[in-house]
Amino acid sequence: MKPINVGLLGIGTVGGGTFTVLKRNAEEISRRAGRPITITVVADKNLELARSVTGGSVRLTDDAFSVVADPEVDIVVELIGGYGVAKELVLKAIENGKHVVTANKALLAVHGNEIFGAAQKKGVMVAFEAAVAGGIPIIKALREGLTANRIEWLAGIINGTTNFILSEMRDRGLSFAEVLKEAQALGYAEADPTFDIEGIDAAHKATIMSAIAFGIPMQFDKAYIEGITKLDAIDIVYAEQLGYRIKLLGIARRREQGVELRVHPTLIPAKRLIANVEGAMNAVLVQGDAVGATLYYGKGAGAEPTASAVIADLVDVTRLHTSDPEHRVPHLAFQPDQVRDVPVLPIEEVITSYYLRMRVDDKPGVLADITRILAESGISIEALSQKEAAEGESQTDIIMLTHQTMERSANAAIGRIEALPVVSGKVTKLRMESL
């Protein structure tokens, strides 16, 4: 049978991995797809790199637009990244009637609605398994495997860099700055790690998962995003003492009034499986009404794990290449006319539990004042720990874990606590999830 011809845009880490795995497992992949899948042209600005990876076995060009216009190319694989030229190339490929496979979470989270709309009109597929959690088939699970379920919530460790940093901070008691420097030296963190450590990368992925889980448009601009840069090592220690671990979680939860979509450091009970995901690994926990909780774990980045997801998409597209567009799996799992513009709730309306740490004068009556403010705000305390003041110190730390309350109420109470003359500086507030 005639091979499917693929044009590969970008042969960096993931592009190189895709080329290598596709070549190595060609026979197995062909047996699964029903026909050979062949990369016939590679576009990259660095032709020398492209030549070294491909061994000159395919046509090379530094003009990506010539690939998306090539009538011989059936599927375009976009591995360039970013929002700029990648968006132009993807839309041009769709306009030219080509299917697209992409690992570009930023592009889909921000421009996905436009891209999927264009693909729908043209009757082509846009596949994006590799855009979330590398080699873990979480998109497939949400779109197809869990289709009988009303998804109630999902929570994911979906950025390996931040998980590596938090694991090292906990294991070795180091500061954020020290571990970041080490992560950069080991290649886990970029020279400019902003997208990772500020939670933006995780928010892109959480946005995509929320759209598929709940049948809503991509709404990245409504996500609440808080990274790990301000996290203090002492809170990791205190959380551990209380039976919790701190992870950067991407969370999407269905509520009556709308959808929660948020990324932030989160205390999770240490006995939960997801709390024990260490190093650069990823994991996503999904709660469905019929199936209950399901956990997906694996490598969230890297050349071959991500290539595994790219090639799985290539096989899917190849199988459905000649099928009626009306009978394919919809891009966001729900039929396009059934995607509902449900509001994303502002963070002030999120309901969760809290870890509060405050520095206070070590004298009688302080605890009573603080608990009175919380009680008046309708916030009940689940656990409380007051540390012994160090010798010669006149201040100590109080740590409280609250029951669930609305963020607005927690913020108002914290404002009143910070105004007490016996409380020094700001109260540290971290959100908690029992999962």
Are residues 264 and 235 in contact, defined by beta-carbon separation less than 8 angstroms? no
Q: Which residues contact 293 (CB under 8 A, 6 or more apart)?
A: 285, 286, 287, 435
* Residue 248 neighbours by CB under 8 Å, 6+ apart: 157, 159, 162, 163, 166, 199, 202, 227, 228, 263, 264, 265, 266
Q: What is the pLDDT of residue 348?
A: 97
**Residue 223: what pLDDT?**
98
- Give the active site residues: 205
**Residues in the chain with pLDDT values less than 70:** none
pLDDT value at position 392?
78
Distances (CA, A) of 138 to 151, 227, 238, 253, 268: 13, 23, 33, 17, 21
Cα angle 16, 19, 22; round to 5: 140
pLDDT at 56: 86
Report the relative pairing of strands 151-157 and 126-127 from DSSP bridges.
unpaired
Q: What pLDDT does 355 receive?
A: 98
> What residue type is 153 in one-letter code?
W
Strands (E), 305-394: 351-361, 381-386
Integer Cα distance of 35 and 4 in angstroms:
7
Query: Position 110: which residue type?
Result: V
* Structural domains of the chain, ranges and CATH numbers in brackets: 4-135+303-338 (3.40.50.720), 139-299 (3.30.360.10), 351-432 (3.30.70.260)
pLDDT at residue 282, as a whole number:
97
227 SS3 class: coil
Mention every residue, 6+ apart, whose C-beta is less than 8 A from residue 191: 184
Q: How far apart are the first and last CA of the chain?
A: 49
Find the farthest-apart pair of alpha carbons in the chain and give their distance in angstroms, rounded: 83
**According to the model, what pLDDT value does residue 103 have?**
96
**What is the pLDDT at residue 390?**
79
